[in-house]
Amino acid sequence: MSEINLLKRYPSGNPNVAKRESAKTNEHVRVSREYGKMYFDGPREYGYGGYRYDGRWVAIAEDMIAHWNLKPGMRVLDIGAAKGFLVKDFMIACKGIEAFGLDISEYALMNCETEVVGRLHLGNCAQLPFPDNSFDAVVCINTIHNLERDECVQAVKEIERVALNGNAYIQVDSYRTEEQRELFENWVLTAYTHDYPDGWKDLFNEAGYTGDYYWTIIGGE
């Protein structure tokens, strides 16, 4: 396993944690975990506040393609693909690459980018509907932490199973300090599982994971 930030060119944001904390209720959490219209395209307190394509994932796709030396005809899977933005941008960054996605949200898949119609699968990352070693690379960004810990372990096992030669990248919610943990807990809507980096590394080892990984941290690295 290797700790590497493959999202280093992703535009940095400045989430209004105080506003989210003051507005968040159990109902907001419940609705957001349905991963429906309110989560993606409803008011900000329920999730994204409007999940729209803007091409920001092209740079990320380029870095991932270079990291694994992906070529036209190779297969890549984005787990937690939502509306397929990264899937689309893989195909922009490398003409001829076979990019696919999986997400638990029927709403996201029904409102996906037109270029990825037929490339997105409805499903749970703890039970991937693909054969062993069926992808040259597998990406899973800010997704498995939305499962309980036992399912997280199973999801990581599934990622390892379908990724050829361990070519996988997982990014999850984490924190390095108590202050960052407090910020995260005030902000989070959907995550069931979260931990310090060492705790996540223990989980990866438990699952037999051999791919790469990194952290999404509110309030710094």
Domain-by-domain residue ranges, the chain? 15-52, 55-216
Q: What is the pLDDT of residue 221?
A: 66
Could you read off the pLDDT of 172-206 as tens digits, one per residue?
999 999 999 999 999 999 999 999 999 999 999 99
- Minimum mean pLDDT among 7-21, 112-126, 168-182: which range? 7-21
Distance CA 161, CA 156 (A): 9
Distance CA 28, CA 39 (A): 9
H or E element: which one contains 41?
Answer: helix 37-41
End-to-end CA distance of the chain: 19
Could you read off the pLDDT of 92-121 as tens digits, one per residue?
999 999 999 999 999 999 999 999 999 999
Q: What is the pLDDT of residue 16?
A: 77
pLDDT, mean over the chain: 95
Single pTM value for the model: 0.95
Distance CA 181, CA 195 (A): 9
Q: What topology is assigned to 55-216 in CATH?
A: Rossmann fold (3.40.50)
